[in-house]
């Protein structure tokens, strides 16, 4: 077991481990009854469409203790499709939803260098992860605190480099801005704008993470709840 694996366990938690590969359910093409009703698509969600993909999967995570698991499962999804079906990343649509206290995983190193101590306190990070969080996003780059799976280091950068996209909760971002403003005496509006400007490449701010859960399924993504 690598040091990275050991340290990541501090933010996984027993509940995430029991979740296995997540609770998966494919979205139905039509609701039962109702005269053949189908969900509408909104123009703001067009970023979810990935032309040329054969399969689509969305991973939902709402805590700092399970967002790393979502990255790990997505890494496995890429690996198994390649090893088992010969399908490369370009054939797979993957979205990772970062909401509630999992939201900061989508902020860049500059944001974590400034507010990592507050994220630590709110999320209860421990070990190497907590130490890294003082100056950087611990899940952003390979070799930090991300888990290693068959496809390699399951960091944010690794996954987005394979084509995965992050949906970042706007409601949680505003809530976090309020928390930070209270602790620093700053402006909620200014910090909110700062957080939104500090997203990692491959991330999209959405109105609310829970909306992205529903919208992704309307765009043909199978759903996996990580926790």
CATH code of the domain in which 157 resides: 3.40.1260.10
Structure tokens at 47: 């970023």
Cα three-residue angle 145-138-71, rounded to 5 degrees: 70
140 within a domain of the structure (yes/no): no
For residue range 60-108, list pLDDT tens digits in order. 999 888 898 999 999 999 999 999 999 999 999 999 999 999 999 999 9
- Cα(15)–Cα(60) distance, integer angstroms: 15
What does the pLDDT read at residue 128? 84
Structural domain contains residue 117: no
pLDDT score, position 97 = 97
132 domain-assigned: no
Percent of the chain topping pLDDT 90? 65
Residue 8 located in a structural domain: no
Q: Are 56 and 94 in contact (CB under 8 A)?
A: yes
| pLDDT value, residue 34 | 55
Q: Domain of 161?
A: 63-109+148-225
Q: 104 lies in a domain?
A: yes
Domain assignment present for 204: yes
User: Does residue 134 sit within a domain?
Assistant: no
Q: Is residue 209 part of a domain?
A: yes
Q: Count up the domains in the chain and report the number.
A: 1
Token output for 218 = 């309307």
């Amino acid at each position: 077991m690598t040091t990275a694996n050991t340290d990541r366990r501090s933010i996984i938690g027993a509940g995430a481990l029991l979740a296995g590969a997540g609770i998966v359910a494919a979205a139905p093409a039509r609701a039962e009854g109702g005269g053949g009703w189908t969900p509408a698509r909104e123009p703001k969600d067009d970023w979810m469409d990935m032309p040329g993909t054969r399969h689509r999967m969305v991973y939902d995570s709402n805590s700092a203790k399970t967002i790393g698991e979502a990255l790990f499962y997505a890494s496995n999804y890429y690996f198994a499709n390649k090893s088992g079906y010969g399908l490369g990343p370009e054939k797979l649509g993957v979205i990772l939803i970062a909401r509630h206290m999992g939201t900061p995983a989508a902020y860049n190193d500059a944001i974590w260098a400034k507010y990592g101590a507050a994220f630590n306190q709110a999320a209860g990070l421990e070990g190497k992860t907590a130490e890294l969080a003082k100056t950087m996003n611990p899940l952003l780059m390979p070799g930090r605190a991300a888990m290693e799976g068959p496809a390699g280091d399951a960091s944010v950068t690794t996954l987005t480099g394979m084509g995965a996209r992050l949906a970042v909760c706007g409601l949680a971002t505003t809530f976090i801005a309020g928390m930070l403003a209270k602790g620093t005496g700053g402006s909620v509006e200014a910090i909110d704008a700062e957080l939104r400007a500090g997203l990692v490449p491959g991330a999209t701010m959405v109105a609310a993470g829970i909306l992205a859960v529903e919208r992704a399924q309307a765009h043909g993504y199978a759903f996996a709840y990580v926790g």
